[in-house]
Structure formats: structure tokens, C-alpha cells
Amino acid sequence: MQTQDTHKQPENDLNGSSVADLKRDFLNKLFYVQGKFPALASLNDYYMALSYTVRDRLLERWINTAAIYTDSGARTICYLSAEFLMGPQLGNNLINLGIYDQAQQAVEELGLDLDALLEQEEEPGLGNGGLGRLAACYLDSMATLEIPSIGYGIRYEFGIFEQDIRDGWQVERTDKWLRFGNPWEISRPEWAVEVKLGGHVDHYTDEQGRYRVRWIPYEVVKGVPYDNPILGYKTNTANTLRLWTAEAPESFDFAAFNSGNYAGAVHKKMVSENVSKVLYPNDDSDRGKRLRLTQQIFFVSCSLQDTIRIMQVQDLPLAKFHEKFVIQLNDTHPAISIAELMRLLVDEHYMKWDQAWAITQRTFAYTNHTILPEALERWPIALFSSLLPRHMEIIYEINHHFIDDVRMKFPDDPDRIARMSLIDESGEKYVRMAHLACVGSHAINGVAALHTELLQQDVLSDFYALYPHKFSNKTNGVTPRRFVVLSNPRLTDLISSKIGNGWIKHLDELKKLEAYVDDIEFQQEWQDIKYNLKRDLANQIVKDYGINVDPHSLFDIQAKRIHEYKRQHLNVLHIITLYNRIKANPDIDITPQTFLFGGKAAPGYFMAKLIIKLINSVADVVNRDPDVRDRIKVVFLKDYSVKFAQHVYPAADLSEQISTAGKEASGTGNMKFAMNGALTIGTLDGANIEIREEVGAENFFLFGLTEQEVQKMSADGYSPIDYYHTNLELKLAIDRIASGFFSHGDPELFKPLLHTLFDRDPYFLFADYQAYIDCQHQASLVYRDLERWTRMSILNVARMGKFSSDRSIREYCEDIWHIKPVKVELNTSMPDNL
């Protein structure tokens, strides 16, 4: 049970929040919205009835928020993102409304179980991983901090695929998250807009002798907005996430229909609807796919047209666009906005180029999320101009002005111009989206200190030289509402019982927990909670996989997308090493350890899929071998999602953050684990560095090469094979895989993986192997001293204040957006007249 204190009942509530109010409305929704009486109602009907009951309470706040923003013409941040990985809404909305306990009691009194209803929700998996989840955390924080904001994205009909595991391999199934309806959205067809695609551009002089540009498209797609309320924690602010669905402007092509070509008439509709059909399941590269570029221009154009509509409703002149709106680009996926806003202002609203450009630059800000070269978006010119002929012209024009600026600052430096140009002309020609984003924005940021430094020194160094004032770091954060309060109510209650509940909004207050670090009773309660959470997860594992894991063992978890740079296979090498030690000496004294993995691989990423197969193959052998005597267990948890993650973070003892230094821009799972009391084993990469600084080096298991050492090794010539020949345990582990021991005697299966390691080992597994093994050993020894481990765990939580997304959003507001909170009072009630 959540404490009453933690989730105080809201005041001024139109609908009422007492248990009786909720019961009454629940039954009412079951009857009038679901159209069911109890004997026929399914669990899903109950979930829907509760969701609509909760939604009424959101709508009240939403309408008041919209009214206040409209009246005050509030400056607004638009967060443009191709992904919003929101996770389930019901539980989070109950927490943020402060009615979790009342709802629990209400459904209990009706003979239902709230947890079962929460489980019923199909989560909107409209994102791949870190980037999409970050966008969702930021929406939560913006609403909590009462910042006027709109999230703009795509309402994919199919979100991230569901992952099944068959014979150890990942198998993808489509995610039909909308099949039972979505109670959290409201469609707004009256605000639909049209987006042009393809065709050609006419330059002409109108009857008054004015120069004009007209884009005659090959096709037009309609965008219909679906609005989702985003409620802040214990505020009345409910902002909007507006997601666009693609439709055909007319359901039928009447010319084709009348000529008897019915199928042809419907075909056009299908083609249009394809635009928002499916999320691209790669978390870092979708180069050259026409549909992907279509998705980008689709949601960007819809969103920008929407902002212009809002300005018109509020009677604001377009010359003040940048005063009304600031637009944050979540990576380069929406970077085409820069050309689209220019097009809207210049071609459709007849603004002069220079004024439009000044507005554009002042409006946009760009967040970079990766320095992996394969993730830097570029579009072949041929594809780009055929889909977006007018944008191509605009980009050439921007480039022309830009190159003049570069030439002025760096005369006689043609190499620099070639490097910085918006067009890559080194071979086949490409549009470089990151360059467009840098030129068209007034602010550029990385997502952790090291990442920003690398952007400045390396990937975007030319832009840093030209525009040093534009650069800053904004270390990522995560929302403690979802990832502690909702996911871990038991820990939440313990913390609040000691330090009050202010920490939920002001995470720095967790510092007060340090006073209890030596309190034996508190330590014991802390341990009990962790043990119970591990036991719950263990029960789930035995239910789902038939594998018994011991909740007393060290739960070592690596949960994130599967990627070579994240090095799940380094983790596997450690497991094989432990296994080899047991085989060589069956009585060896080792700390019992449970290794859990979770994460999806991009369907086209063969090596990542092979890593999943390797994990499962090793698990099969290790879990069955009687010599192991249950001292190590390995489980791959399939279909990792936000919903499932909420059960995983709280149950972790050790959080694996073992990417090659310099490769993980920030990481955010590292923060979620640590906030739930896991200790980190990690490299000096991304936000790990800052986490270690905060929690103290003595409370963090550090290993591995630094980014500079990696660079140097690369430059000096790295020879992975030397490590193989000189490190006996590494050789044994690799040889076990190579011999076919884990693949029913087939030595071919894992060859591609091993070949990459022997040949190049681009992510330095071999170089980091020994340090990782030693560090794991160290962690396993510390775990034997439960009191010491618990102290470290408490200190980790106590020192996580920095990693609240509230802190990140405050920094964006102060340094980039220049937006202040707007207080929302619940004044607007349901009108009794029009």
C-alpha cells in the first residue's frame, strides 16, 4: 500500500476523488462506456472502466491548462520526437493524480485487484529505447514543473515489435497495441492538416509582379492529431502529447472509382495510411529508406502547421513565432523542420528570407544522442529531392549562405568547407541532417558531460569552432515518479517514512537518507524490501521460463537494447569464465549469482541477434549442468518493455553498464537501476562517469579502458589476438564457444561473432576482459558482506538526486528555452451554458 501521506488527495476536484466517488464512476463507465454488466465484463472492460474514470479527472486539469495557456499566450516548448516510449498510463496517472490508494481500495471493494487491472494495459511502445523513453521522462518533468509544452510525434499503428524467443533466437511479432482501443487519447479531426510529397516546384511571378514559389506535389497525405494528456505530479498542469496519424485526404479516388477501378481507388488510401503504420525498429540507423524520410516530413510538417494554427488562434503575428515557441529537436529525426519552417514562412506566408531565417534559428535547438557514425543521418540527394523537391532547394539556399559565413571566418580553407557543407559531396551526394540541425539551431547539446566533450572535440568539432556559444551539455535524467514511486512502492514508503515525501519532486532531498546509512533497523528494512522484490521476480521467472533462481543470489542484470557496443557478449564471457572455473574445480567457493538479460535486437542486425542466441545457448548449458549446483543461473527475459522494466529495476543488485568507453552517449537505465538501490559495475562512459562522481568511487565498481586509452589503442594498432594468446581464461572461454560446446557441437554457429573479435574487436572486449573479470570478482566478494553492500546501496539512492529528469528540464528551461512555469488553477469547470 502507498502511504496516504505520499499520495495526498487532490483538492478542488470536479469529479471527486473519494473511494465512493471512484466506485460510482467506475460502475458508471462500465455501464455507459463499455456497455457491459458485470457478469459479461472482461478484465479489459474493468481496465477500460477504471481508465475512463481516471481520464475524467485528467480532462478537468487538461481543459483548465489549455484555457490558461490560451488566455496568457504562454511561451511554449515543442518537443519534436519521432519516438515517445510512454509505457503504461493508468498507474502513472493514478500516482500523479494522487489517487492511487483510493483507486486501489475502490476496486478492491468491488472485488477486483488493481495490479491485475494495471497488467491489462497494452503499453504504447512508440519508441525503440533510450531516446524515446527520454522524451517520455521529459514530458513528465515538464508537466510536473508546470512548463507549457507540447510533445509532437507519430501515432504508429504498430509500435516496437514484440519479441519472442524460439530455440534461443529472437523472433519478431507485430505489436497491436491499439486492438482493444486506447482510452487515453482523443482524436481531433478538426485540426487535421495536409502534407505534400513529391512532384515539382514552380517559380513564377504573380499578377502583382511578385516573385512566388509554388510546390505542386505528386501526392498529399492528411495528418490527423490524437491528443494524450500528460499530467504532472501533484500539479494541475496537464500538457499535451499530440501524435499524428496519416490518412488519405479522400477515402476514395473518385475518378478511379467511377471508372470501375474500385481496388485502385482504395489503393491510394492504403498508401497514405502506410506513413504512420510502423515504427522503424532500429535504434540507431535507418538510412536511405524513403518511408522513413516520409514519416519525418509527415510529423514535422503536421506539427509546424499546428503551431502556426495556434498562433493564429491566439492572434499572434508570425514575426513573433520564436517568442511564442521554442522547438527542441530530439536528435536529427525531426531536423527537416528547419527547412519546413522556412518553406512555411517564405512560400506560404510570404515572409522575407532573412527574417524567416532569423526566426528559424532562434526557434530551434538540437540535441545529439550519439556519436556512432552509423547513426548520423544522411539522405541520398536523389531520394531527398524526389520526395521533397522544395526542401532540397531551401537546403541549397541555406547552404549557400552558410558556406559564405564559414569562408568569412576561415578564409582559404576549402577542406573545412567540404567537411561542414550541408551536402556531402565526397562520393554519392547526401544531405547531412546533423549539419542542417547545427546550422539552423541556436543551441546544440549532448546528453552527458563526456558525450558533449566528444561532440565538441570530434564529431561536431568544426561546428564548435564556428559556433562555440551554441554548445552546452545537458546530462539526461529520468523521472522518479514512474521509476521509483510507481515501480517500487515498498522502497518509496520506506524512504518517505524517514525523510518525508518531498524527494519525489525534489530528488536532491534523498540526501537526507545518508543520516540512516548506519541505522541497523533501516538497513534491515532496506534488505527485506530488496529481497522481497527479488523473490517476486524469481516467482515470475519460474512461471514464465520454468527456471528456479535463488532470491538470495546476487541479481546481476543487463537490460537494454542489444548492441555490440553495449557488450552483452562481454558479460557472457564472464559467465563462461565462472562456468569454466566450476568445471575445473567443482567445489570452488563462489558467490551465487543470477545473470539476467533483457533487450531487443534490431530485426536486421545479425550480430545482435547472434548475441541473443549466444546468451540463450550458454544459459541452456549452465542452468542444466549438475556441477554448477545452482550457483550460477542465466536467464534471457524476453520482450523487455517499459512495463516489464518496472519490475526489473527494483529487483537488481548489480547493474551492468559496460559499454566501450566513448560509445554510450549517456545511458538512462544506469540511472533507473541506481535509483532503485542497485550498485553499478561500469566503464567510464556516458553518464556512468557522473553517477560515479555523485555516489562516490567507493560505491561504484569501475573497470576498463578510458575513452582516451581506447583512442590511443586504436591509433597505435590494437591487436585483440594478443590478448587471446596471453590470457588463459579468456582463451578458454573463447575456445568453449568456438568448439561448439554451447551449440550442440556445431562450431560454425558463433563463428561470425568470434571472427569479429579475433579480427578487429571494434569494441575492445578482449582488452577489457581481465579488468571486467577482476571487477566482477570484487563485486561478488563485497556482496558476501551484506551489511556493507546495503550501506553502498543506500548511499547510491541517497546520492541520485542529480539524475532526476526535473533537473535536466530545469537546465533546458534556464539555458536554452527561457521558459518559466505557468501555474494552473482549477477554475474552469464544466459549463452549464454555452
Q: Are the C-beta atoms of residues 646 and 87 closer than 8 Å to each other? A: yes
Q: Which range touches ligand CJB (CB under 6 A), out of 293-301, 407-415, 664-672, 720-728?
A: 664-672
Q: Which stretch binds ligand CJB (CB under 6 A): 123-131, 206-214, 523-531, 673-681?
A: 123-131
- For residue 697, the cross-strand partners are none
Give the shortest CB-361-to-ligand CJB separation in angstroms: 24
Choose which of 10, 477, 667, 801 interacts with ligand CJB (CB under 6 A): 667
Active site residue 823: no
Q: Which is nearer to ligand CJB, 265 or 375 (CB)?
A: 375
Shorter beta-carbon distance to ligand CJB: residue 281 or 650: 281
Residue 370 makes contact with ligand CJB by CB under 6 A: yes
CA distance 5 to 489: 13
Based on the shown chain and the rule CB under 6 A, indicate whether residue 680 belongs to the binding site for ligand CJB. Answer: no
Query: Cβ closer to ligand CJB: 525 or 664?
Result: 664
For residue 426, how many other CB atoms are within 10 A of its CB?
10
| Least Cβ distance, residue 67 to ligand CJB (angstroms) | 34
The whole-angstrom separation of Cα 407 and Cα 226 is 46
Annotated catalytic, 560?
yes
Gyration radius from the chain CA atoms: 27
For residue 832, the SS3 value is coil
Q: Are 803 and 687 in contact (CB under 8 A)?
A: yes
Q: Is 447 an interacting residue with respect to ligand CJB (CB under 6 A)?
A: yes
**75, 196, 369, 451: the active-site residue:** 369
Closest approach of Cβ 561 to ligand CJB, in Å?
7
Nearest approach, Cβ of residue 808 and ligand CJB (Å): 10
- From 452, 668, 680, 683, active-site residue: 668
**Residues 666, 676, 743, 805: which binds ligand CJB (CB under 6 A)?**
666
Of residues 99 and 602, the one with the C-beta less far from ligand CJB:
602
The single residue among 29, 369, 432, 600 that binds ligand CJB, judged by CB under 6 A, is 369
Among candidate residues 672, 692, 736, 807, the one labeled active-site is 672
Q: How far is CA 707 from CA 163, 248, 716, in A?
A: 33, 50, 14
Segment (H or E) for 230? strand 219-231
Least gap, CB of 585 to ligand CJB (angstroms): 39
- In angstroms, the Cα distances linking 143 to 99, 138, 327, 646, 789 are 18, 9, 16, 21, 36
Total residues binding ligand CJB (CB under 6 A): 19
Cell output for 538: 524469481
Closest residue to ligand CJB using C-beta atoms: 130
Query: In sequence order, which residues have a C-beta less than 8 Å from that of residue 617 and are 6 or more positions away?
Result: 168, 742, 743, 749
- Minimum Å distance from CB 559 to ligand CJB? 14
Please report whether residue 807 would count as binding ligand CJB according to CB under 6 A: no
Our measurement of the distance from residue 577's CA atom to the centroid of its chain's CA atoms, rounded to an integer in Å, reads 33
- Name 633's Cβ contacts closer than 8 Å, sequence gap at least 6: 547, 548, 549, 550, 553, 593, 594, 595, 622, 623
**C-alpha cell belonging to residue 231:** 499530467
User: Should residue 477 be labelled a site residue for ligand CJB when binding is judged by CB under 6 A?
Assistant: no
Residue 665 makes contact with ligand CJB by CB under 6 A: yes
Smaller CB separation from ligand CJB, 437 or 730: 437
Exactly one of 45, 284, 694, 768 binds ligand CJB (CB under 6 A); that residue is 284
Q: Is there a catalytic annotation at residue 245?
A: no
Q: 561 or 633: whose CB is closer to ligand CJB? A: 561
Task: Kindly name the residue from 75, 133, 530, 561 that is annotated as catalytic.
Answer: 561
CB of 133 to ligand CJB, least distance (A): 8
Give yes or no for residue 121 binding ligand CJB (CB under 6 A): no
Which residue in 471, 475, 451, 444 sits closest to 668, CA to CA? 475
The number of beta carbons lying within 10 Å of the beta carbon of residue 701 is 21
CB of 130 to ligand CJB, least distance (A): 3
Residue 319 CB-density burial (10 A; 0-12 exposed, 13-18 middle, 19+ buried): middle
Interface with ligand CJB, residue 686, by CB under 6 A: yes
The answer to whether residue 707 forms part of the interface with ligand CJB (CB under 6 A) is no
- Shortest distance, CB of residue 127 to ligand CJB, whole angstroms? 8
Site for ligand CJB in 287-346 (CB under 6 A): 331
Stretch that binds ligand CJB, among 300-308, 643-651, 666-674, 736-744 (CB under 6 A): 666-674
Q: By C-beta, is 332 or 487 nearer to ligand CJB?
A: 332
CB under 6 A: which stretch of 33-41, 308-316, 368-376, 598-606 binds ligand CJB? Answer: 368-376
Q: CB of 503: closest distance to ligand CJB in angstroms? A: 23
Is 563 exposed, middle or buried, given 0-12, 13-18 or 19+ CB atoms closer than 10 A?
buried
Q: Which one of 87, 88, 129, 720 is in contact with ligand CJB (CB under 6 A)?
A: 129
**Chosen residue from 13, 247, 283, 493 binding ligand CJB by CB under 6 A:** 283
CB of 279 vs ligand CJB, minimal distance in Å: 12
Q: Is there binding between residue 98 and ligand CJB (CB under 6 A)? A: no
User: What is the full DSSP assignment across 464-489?
Assistant: HHH-GGGEEE----B-HIIIIIIT-H
Task: By CB under 6 A, name the one of 134, 513, 734, 813 that touches ligand CJB.
Answer: 134
Closest CA to 561 of 663, 459, 711: 663
537 touches ligand CJB by CB under 6 A: no
Pairing verdict, β 430-432 and 378-380: antiparallel
Q: Which of 566, 600, 631, 692 is catalytic?
A: 566
Q: Which is nearer to ligand CJB, 112 or 665 (CB)?
A: 665
Helix/strand/coil for 245:
strand
Query: Strand, coil or helix: what is 151?
Result: strand
The backbone torsions φ and ψ at residue 366, rounded to the nearest 5 degrees and listed phi first, read: -125, 130
For 775, counting Cβ atoms within 10 Å of its Cβ (0-12 exposed, 13-18 middle, 19+ buried), the class is buried
Q: Shortest approach of ligand CJB to residue 663 CB, angstroms?
A: 8
For residue 375, state whether it binds ligand CJB (rule: CB under 6 A).
yes
Residue among 324 and 369 whose Cβ is closer to ligand CJB: 369
Rounded to the nearest 10°, the torsion over CA 231, 234, 237, 239 is: -20
The one segment of 250-258, 628-636, 659-667, 700-708 that binds ligand CJB by CB under 6 A: 659-667
Supply 622's cell numbers.
549452465
- Cell numbers at residue 313, please? 488562434
Cβ atoms of residues 722 and 729 within 8 Å:
no
Which of 102, 182, 337, 476 is in the footprint of ligand CJB by CB under 6 A? 476
| Least separation in angstroms between CB 790 and ligand CJB | 28
- Dihedral over alpha carbons 563, 568, 570, 572 (to 10 degrees): -140
- Could you confirm whether 668 is annotated as catalytic? yes
Q: DSSP assignment of 325-338, as one string? A: EEEEEESSTTTTHH
Alpha-carbon distance of 795 to 516, in angstroms, equals: 10
Nearer to ligand CJB, 303 or 668 (CB): 668
Residue 97 · residue 231 · CB < 8 Å: yes
Q: Which residues bind ligand CJB (CB under 6 A)?
A: 128-131, 134, 283-284, 331, 369-370, 375, 447, 476, 664-668, 686
Q: Which residues carry out catalysis?
A: 369, 560-561, 566, 668, 672
